[in-house]
Amino acid sequence: LIPSSVIYDEYIPSNSNVNRMVDADNKPTAKHDEVQSDPPLPQRKISVLEDIKRSPKVAGYSLALTSGIILYGYDLAIVSNVSSMPEFQHDFGRKLGGQLIIPSLWLGLWNVANPIGGIFGAIFGGYVQDRFGRRSSLAVASIISAIGVAIAYVSNLPGGIDGRRAVFFVAKLVQGYAVNMLTCTIQTYMSEVLSPTLRGPILAFFPLFTLLGQLVGSIVVFTSLKEKGPGGYLKCFISQWPFSALPLLVSIILPESPTWLVRKDRMEAARKSQRRLDSARVDSEAAIEKLCSSIRHEDEQAQNHPASYLECFRGNNLRRTMIVLFANLIPQLFGLTLMSKSSYFLQIVGMGATNSLLFLEVGIALGLVANILSMWTLSRFNRVPLIMVGLAITTLLWTGMGILGCFQGVVTIWWSAVTMMLVITVCGATAWPASYAVGAEASALRLRAKSQGLGWVMNGLSNGVFGLVLPYIFNPDQGNLRAKTGFVYTGLCLLGLVGTWYVVPEMKDRTPIEIDRMFEMHLPARKFKAQTFDDENAGTSPKSRSATPV
């Protein structure tokens, strides 16, 4: 077996270190002096590939969980781009100046239905995760998703057009509920079982497989574009069923999270689950001991208050929750909601339906390449610089689109398409995946399910607000800004830059207990990176040492 100090001391210092260092009065013990006279050698940093070789099962189970992320992206593509299909516009839209459009009111309601459902799904998902476990939450979300698909499939049956629009609204509401419950659970599970080295690269699966799902969905929409009658868009709806079933199958084979089992005092089940996650080279018993140590520490700091949503807004947890919420807001600030509706938006700017869908697919393909690159950037660069660089470049791109939007012509149409492809490429390698890593790292272990639920509530709420407001900004029957919408996102990206600098601390390669300690020390965000802990004082009280000056 590989010694636990090599692998698991990366995660959480053992309780024995704490006992060696301080007595009950926080005074050094004689044994502590012996330790200080012979400090441990610095440990070699483990690479991503080495960590995958040591924990291949964890990487494999994380890969299996991406089926739920693919469903999230696929659903985004279907519900966002089906409105660009002429047959769907014929059955659900109206004519304006000889052109079929979806009325701004209903387009806004459909856009907001998915996020509103997602808010309730994330809250309920956090409860189900803590009450019944991560696997149960996955299974329930998968079943609800299948129900949402069935409702969408029959949305064209009512005779009145408002009835059809209302049924489609309900379908999007239910599907949003299921998908956010699913993604919230997946992010919680991954953040609990992944080592600090793997956390960033594998959490980059979220944007990567979201875009993969969007690519598959957009291809389905494109191939169904010219079909006559409702069969084309109904095929798009029904094609979601296999993606809804995959997470249910994964929940059957997935080991339950050891963190949840330990918190439920099911120690034998936790050991069994940990052994299923670990390879033969890893000391699973040591991992469980260190997990128990971390949970005991968090419980002591929380004075044994129950893990609740209210607890997320008490004391140090308030700051950590605000970071999680802000991290989930970042994709909306750089324009993800607008880009998910890029096909319809480009048609409003002046591009034909076929070309708009082709540009959507090219943009998604570029984003996929960028997300694959992000698995390297997240392991190589710190989180905050990645977010800052991505938002800074995106600010310039949106400004350029807004300026060209002040003029009429083919150049404006094509530059709008190029801008959206460049934005998804830049942010796909920087700000987007980094925001998932920050959101997963900031919360305490005992509140992780609840914090991730709140994060996805913010994601759904912001997505809903943008989805409702955007049609009133760019649609010709309302604001009619068209390409000048770029100016709106210039301001939002600047807001994101300021917020990232002052709010988001650097947590790359930090263990859960190190992150706990730095929040307990009330370090400013920009001092997290410089704070150091040696192996022997990583577990001491923050009151017994001062922050490293910057």
CA distance 463 to 484: 20
Is 159 in contact with 218 (CB distance < 8 Å)? Answer: no
Q: Does 46 fall in a domain?
A: no
Q: Does 24 fall in a domain?
A: no
CA distance 337 to 322: 22
CA distance 493 to 499: 10
Judged on CB neighbours under 10 Å (0-12, 13-18, 19+), 534 is exposed
Q: Does 227 fall in a domain?
A: yes
pLDDT at 44 (0 to 100): 53
CATH number of the domain enclosing 152: 1.20.1250.20
Tens of pLDDT, residues 18-32: 333 334 344 344 333
Residue 293 has pLDDT above 70, yes or no: yes
What is the distance of C-alpha 191 from the center of its chain? 11
Average pLDDT, stretch 278-285? 85
Q: Which of 47-51, 165-169, 191-195 has the lowest mean pLDDT?
A: 47-51
Residue 455 has pLDDT above 80, yes or no: yes
Give the total residue count for the chain.
550
- The closest alpha carbon to 109, from 371, 460, 467, belongs to 467
Identify the helix (H) or strand (E) that includes residue 179: helix 161-193
Q: Domains in the chain: how many in total? A: 1
3-state SS of 363-411? Answer: HHHHHHHHHHHHHHHHHHCCHHHHHHHHHHHHHHHHHHHHHHCCCCCHH
Q: Please state at what angle helix 342-349 crosses helix 410-429, rounded to 10 degrees.
A: 160
Q: Which of 384-388, 532-536, 539-543 has the lowest mean pLDDT?
A: 539-543
Contact partners, residue 61, CB within 8 Å, separation at least 6: 193, 254, 255, 277
Q: Does 294 fall in a domain?
A: no
pLDDT at 76 (0 to 100): 82
Share of the chain above pLDDT 70, in %: 88
| Domain residue limits at 379 | 52-263+311-509
What is the distance of C-alpha 410 from the center of its chain? 36
Contact partners, residue 129, CB within 8 Å, separation at least 6: 137, 184, 185, 188, 260, 449, 453
Average pLDDT, stretch 342-371? 90
Contact partners, residue 55, CB within 8 Å, separation at least 6: 195, 198, 277, 278, 279, 282
Q: Does 90 fall in a domain?
A: yes
Both tokens of 408, joined, read 């009429």
Q: Does 17 fall in a domain?
A: no
pTM: 0.75
What is the distance of C-alpha 476 from the center of its chain? 33
Share of the chain above pLDDT 90, in %: 53
Q: How does residue 350 score in pLDDT terms, banded at 50, 70 and 90? A: very high
Dump the DSSP string for 289-316: HHHHHHHHHHHHHTTT----TGGGGSHH
Identify the helix (H) or strand (E) that includes residue 100: strand 99-101
Q: How does residue 344 score in pLDDT terms, banded at 50, 70 and 90? A: confident
CA distance 21 to 29: 6
What is the distance of C-alpha 71 from the center of its chain? 14
pLDDT at 6 (0 to 100): 37
pLDDT at 110 (0 to 100): 87
Residue 250 has pLDDT above 80, yes or no: yes
Q: Does 419 fall in a domain?
A: yes
CA distance 105 to 90: 17
The pLDDT mean for the chain works out to 85
SS3 of residue 22 by DSSP: strand
Per DSSP, 504 falls in state P
Q: Which of 75-84, 357-366, 386-395 has the lowest mean pLDDT?
A: 75-84
Q: Does 61 fall in a domain?
A: yes
pLDDT at 402 (0 to 100): 97
